[in-house]
């Protein structure tokens, strides 16, 4: 592994019982890169992301993050994960805590920061994502977009070297999506290394250094966004993009691609 690789995946396989979701995935993410993973439901995108920080244990293969092999049985996973920030589809905020408390708690319990330092870092990151005025509010008082921005601030407060995003806008009303994507664009502009599973093609086209298209548990095509999204080489990529970029196309065709339904929520 070269020093420039923030993430290296080798021959990654993941099965759930008889269902093989990942079928030998190889790819890398370099320091400072934004890599967007796209593909139909059930293609293995979210499972791949969850294997990167071992929220899912790979059936076979190697995962190296920041020079540390997470799949090594002797790896201290708790220590390794401190350098990883993850933002999920759901916000996972503690409802009984204020916004400020939500962003402070992991800093204090995991990083051992004092109250004053944790509060300073929390306020800085809430300012960065545009919700500093909501410090004393509870999650139930926020919109979905505001809650997701708090979740991003919480992850950033841990000083990660890598941010993982799993469909971060999929649970949001359409008018709230832009605010979250704007925060992610700003992180990319600041040089944050990011691996993003997304269905937001405009974000992938404009922000990603590389786009990875997955289908059926394998990488079908990868490259710069102008190639993968603008001039895809594979028929499966072209079919997927035609349906995403022109939803009416699905209705005319009257059928979904087999992988769209085969794997359910394995994503």
Question: What pLDDT was estimated at residue 267?
Answer: 61
Q: Is residue 204 part of a domain?
A: yes
164 secondary structure, DSSP code: E
Q: Is residue 220 part of a domain?
A: yes
Q: Is residue 259 part of a domain?
A: no
Question: What pLDDT was estimated at residue 251?
Answer: 46
Question: What pLDDT was estimated at residue 245?
Answer: 83
Task: Name the pTM for this structure.
Answer: 0.89
Q: Is residue 265 part of a domain?
A: no
**Apex 66 CA angle, 149 and 83, nearest 5:** 35
Question: What pLDDT was estimated at residue 248?
Answer: 65
Q: Which two tokens stand for residue 155?
A: 């992850």
- Collapsing DSSP to helix, strand or coil, 253 comes out as helix
Question: What pLDDT was estimated at residue 1?
Answer: 40
Distance, in Å, from the CA atom of 61 to the CA atom of 234, rounded to the nearest integer, reads 26
Q: Is residue 260 part of a domain?
A: no
Segments in 29-173 forming alpha helices (H):
45-52, 77-81, 99-110, 115-128, 144-156
Among 14-23, 103-112, 128-137, 170-179, the least confident range: 170-179
- Domain residues for 240? 5-246
Question: 112: domain CATH number?
Answer: 3.40.50.300
Decide if pLDDT at 213 tops 90: yes
pLDDT of 49-106, one tens digit each?
999 999 999 999 999 999 999 999 999 998 988 889 999 988 999 999 999 999 999 9
167 secondary structure, DSSP code: S
- Collapsing DSSP to helix, strand or coil, 191 comes out as coil
Q: Is residue 253 part of a domain?
A: no
DSSP run (H or E) holding 11: strand 5-16
Rg, Å, the chain Cα set: 19
Positive or negative, the CA dihedral 26, 29, 30, 33 is: positive
Rounded mean pLDDT, 230-252: 82
Q: Is residue 263 part of a domain?
A: no
Q: Is residue 10 part of a domain?
A: yes
pLDDT of 158-174, one tens digit each?
999 999 999 999 989 98
The b-or-e profile of 98-134 (16+ CB within 10 A means b, else e) is bbbbbbbbbbeeeeebeeeebbebbbebbebbbbbeb
Residue partners of 149: CB distance under 8 A and separation at least 6: 129, 130, 131, 179, 180, 183
Question: What pLDDT was estimated at residue 249?
Answer: 53
Selection from 127, 55, 120, 131 nearest residue 93 by Cα = 131
How many structural domains are present in the chain? 1
Mapping DSSP onto H, E and C, the string for 91-130 reads CCCCCCCCHHHHHHHHHHHHCCCCHHHHHHHHHHHHHHCC
Where does the pLDDT of residue 246 fall: very low under 50, low under 70, confident under 90, or very high at 90 and above?
Answer: confident
Q: β-strands 34-38, 19-30: how paired? A: unpaired
């Amino acid at each position: 592994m070269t020093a420039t690789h923030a993430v290296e995946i080798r021959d990654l396989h993941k099965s759930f019982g008889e269902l093989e979701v990942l079928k030998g995935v190889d790819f890398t993410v370099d320091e400072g890169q934004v890599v967007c993973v796209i593909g139909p439901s059930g293609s293995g995108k979210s499972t791949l992301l969850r294997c990167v920080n071992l929220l899912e244990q790979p059936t076979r293969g190697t995962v190296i993050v920041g020079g540390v092999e997470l799949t090594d049985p002797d790896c201290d996973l708790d220590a390794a994960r401190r350098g990883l920030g993850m933002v999920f589809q759901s916000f996972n905020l503690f409802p009984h805590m204020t916004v400020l408390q939500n962003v402070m708690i992991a800093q204090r319990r995991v990083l051992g920061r004092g109250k004053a330092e944790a509060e300073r870092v929390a306020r800085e990151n809430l300012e960065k994502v545009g919700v500093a005025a909501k410090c004393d509010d509870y999650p139930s008082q926020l919109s979905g977009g505001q809650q997701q921005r708090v979740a991003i601030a919480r992850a950033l407060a841990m000083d990660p070297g890598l941010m993982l995003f799993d469909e971060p806008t999929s649970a949001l009303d359409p008018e709230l999506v832009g605010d979250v994507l704007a925060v992610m664009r700003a992180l990319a502009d600041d040089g944050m290394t990011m691996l993003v599973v997304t269905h937001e093609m405009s974000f992938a086209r404009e922000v990603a250094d590389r786009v990875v298209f997955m289908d059926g548990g394998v990488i079908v095509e990868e490259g710069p966004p102008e190639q993968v999204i603008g001039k895809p080489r594979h028929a499966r990529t072209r079919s997927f993009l035609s349906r995403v970029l022109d939803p009416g196309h699905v209705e005319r065709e009257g059928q979904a691609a087999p992988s769209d339904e085969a794997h359910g929520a394995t994503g």
